[in-house]
Structure 1
């Protein structure tokens, strides 16, 4: 079974070393990233939303997410994890149903965030997701994202404590991993990695320690987040602006037409 095989592989990627996920936003970006040797593909909710013409922040209709996910799953052969933001509903049953539909498409991991909400709300969603999937014999790695750092939900000196408190609740609810975007300071990373009881995921930031140090601090997963999608928007904006101004495209690195086309040939 593809779900079982991919689910086991995806879990094993968090067991040791540092899993690097260069987040994709559509089938083309996912296939390109896979071709570069990525052991798994994860999506960025922002990039997926933008690619479908919506703002990030639970604005994307679930049907669009399901369509984008099916398109990605069709072209890759490695495990797929999908960022589902807050689950696109406040109702745990609806969220669980959304995740079940993703799992039936072959998804073996999700990111599910607390945002500005109470931890109990995310706990209820995680518990219901796990119950629903277990009843169908499906396994999905639930990466619980807490926005304590990203949104400044606690004073700086209390953030480690706040994250660990939420991590304990999310772990008890059934979460498999902990994602703390905005966390960059070495001491805080070490303390959270040691105390969370879950594999720690951090997000790429200029001030983040290097790969070797992150691994030594106990981090098991590093996500690019929306960074690649943002860079692509900037790059296309520069090229299109130049073309519209003088009929020429600005000098920039390019992949050849045939090289890109070959990514989507028979495999």
Structure 2
């Protein structure tokens, strides 16, 4: 990938689009940079060096964009999602979502993988479709108990907990209807009423516990967001005041401070009640 001869062999922060010239390809390729805003190194030969992108992965992206367009498969869909998200190729993200919702895609990826992808890449349709396949509370609990959840996006757990509460309500209604039918047919069996009461009591306690856990997670998240907002407002207000006094360089330093603060707050780990906080 060669840069235009007008570009100097120094580090550049590129604008909203990246011009790529591929050897042996009679066309120019424009790729948007999306929200990544990464720096790209241009060496003394005028070659762009894309950080964290291999040549093989980049060719997968190009083959999916330019004729003859390659089909989306289980082998390339995850690579395409990663690069399309980075470079802002929205139409390919939509095609990937459609593939994952297709019969073929459903065969190769399990519910947790689908939910992780839909959460990371903000795919609302895929997320709704995946949650709809978790028809009962036991199905949702099975995903929550999966060891891979430890490495899943944190917001996915909150989504699954909300879904679990909804499934508990639905399951309780179905069980009450079934129990009422059974009681009407077996009026002499008094043990049915006792078992129903015990089941309802146990389910109510579990639902209450899940509600409390969800409430705590939401409260912690809101506190973190509020702290970040207050800190950002304070730093930006300081920048404006100092800038009025003629110190223009403070804006860049303040922006870097905001980024560092966001990174630190994003690294905060939640620990369970009763455990000692991390050092």
Same fold (TM over 0.5): no
Between Structure 1 and Structure 2, the one with more strand by share is 1
Q: Flag the structure with larger Rg.
A: 2
Between Structure 1 and Structure 2, the one with more helix by share is 2
Larger relative contact order (CA 8 Å, sep ≥ 6): 1
The normalised TM-score by structure 1 is: 0.23
